[in-house]
A and B are shown apart, each in its own frame.
Chain A
Amino acid sequence: AQSVTQLGSHVSVSEGALVLLRCNYSSSVPPYLFWYVQYPNQGLQLLLKYLSGSTLVKGINGFEAEFKKSETSFHLTKPSAHMSDAAEYFCAVKTSGGYNKLIFGAGTRLAVHP
Chain B
Amino acid sequence: DVKVTQSSRYLVKRTGEKVFLECVQDMDHENMFWYRQDPGLGLRLIYFSYDVKMKEKGDIPEGYSVSREKKERFSLILESASTNQTSMYLCASSTPSGSTYEQYFGPGTRLTVT
Contact = CB atoms under 8 A, between A and B. Distances in A.
A43 B107 contact: yes
Interface residues of B, number: 28
A17 interface: no
Interface residues of A, number: 24
A98 B50 CA distance: 9
Contacts of B44: 104
A44 interface: yes
Nearest to B58: A101
Nearest to B56: A99
Interface in B81-114: 90, 92, 94-96, 99-108
Given A43-B4, A99-B31, A105 B42 contact: yes
Contact of A51 (B33, B92, B101): B101
A32 B92 CA distance: 18
Given A43-B107, A49-B101, A51-B101, A99 B96 contact: yes
Interface in B7-45: 9, 31, 33, 40-45
A64 B24 CA distance: 31
Interface of B: 4, 9, 31, 33, 40-45, 48, 50, 56, 90, 92, 94-96, 99-108
